[in-house]
Chains A and B, each alone.
Chain A
């Protein structure tokens, strides 16, 4: 059953196109929304993504707070947005690895590692973000072998097992409660003495008899053989390291912006987020930014969609000038 429109068709059809009104870097909610608005207004639009369209939406099991849709899988929402953008004429190129970006002049130039070069009058940067990793020894080695970043995907591998959840935000606490459906014991490890999550999420976690807490602590190493066997946990204030036998660890410590490819091209803040004006302009003329990679305090699908809309309208004005 073919449910997913193949971007390959579009890529082959428009292989010769090199010049566009607008190039969008990033095909998540912000980028696809911008593409929909621009292409519907008859602008020629190329959307490049370093991975696959959808961004973080693809990693969301169920979306229940998108107005107008009571409940939808992240996959279906992303797939629909992609098809909608393509329907209006956006060309979407997946797995596009950036080689160079030259946005200083009137013509914005994007060169890919495969040698393809594209020009545009305006650019929208919407590279999104990714799950933050602990970056400790053993983390990469045991990802998929006990370490996970998705409770809904991998929770049932841990039926009647003991697990750790790392983090202190809403995601960490809500997923910890969710994981008690499977695990016999959930230990939340958090670096501070208090949580950043909303009080109702904290209360739900504290009320759950399967959940206990290790505060002011951080994981410094994961150990095991075929699969994860233990985590070494350091108490931050005392410096004491203890080894906790464990079957699994779920990590929810926020996101990092995917701005490595644009570092040095546009102005970023100390966290690597793109600095924008209220009109979503970057420090370069006719280069705009939208979505989770922008310097913003709210990162939701709805806010990314709003950003994409605003950036598209601003870019459209720039193209018409």
Chain B
């Protein structure tokens, strides 16, 4: 009996010891092992991009010599990438398409979310199911039929083909529906007493309350459109309207051998816009994923 109480007491003391660090351990910074391991993880994850940035300033002979400091070829690489191969043009196209789709998708999802939460109409659940089930239909699977259809519309080689098919979003409609459903009904009741139309209510009341959801969705959609590869490679033939993910191909072909400097410069440049969007909207993105909870 006595020994049993003793073991319980011991294990309790051991458990508390893990919580309250005492004696010598107090001298070591709290959770030093976590800091060391996290720094290591950040370094390993960051290394490929860091090395790509380094190589973007180098010539091939620098790369072959495994030179771990910046080279002097940045200006030449820049001229080759941006002017000779016209990556700049592809970047502008990608930015335009990504902004257009992100904006349109957010707008259409807001409208759909509004219809699902603030209206009574017959067949609402069937329509909701009809929208939600498209989550199971990735565009990639339909790519052959979609390609044929877009060609029938004479949309080959146009921005329409890159923008219009992606404007509707099951994810967005679903997220806004969830978000609006959690907003107290008194708000829409009092808005109606004040004589507000549904659209006024949406843009004056709901949108200002939804910036976190809008921001999270915007990051997801911007990155999604920015990353599109197979579809633009199919429907866009000319150089003027091509997106950057496909346009980077021009840095691989055309030379006798692969020049790593320009290729890495192009890859790094193509990563800057989504990284900017990600960093600017990081707070919204994280809280959209319920990450902000801890302090």
* Real binding pair: no
Enumerate chain A interface residues (CB-CB to B < 8 A): none
Enumerate chain B interface residues (CB-CB to A < 8 A): none
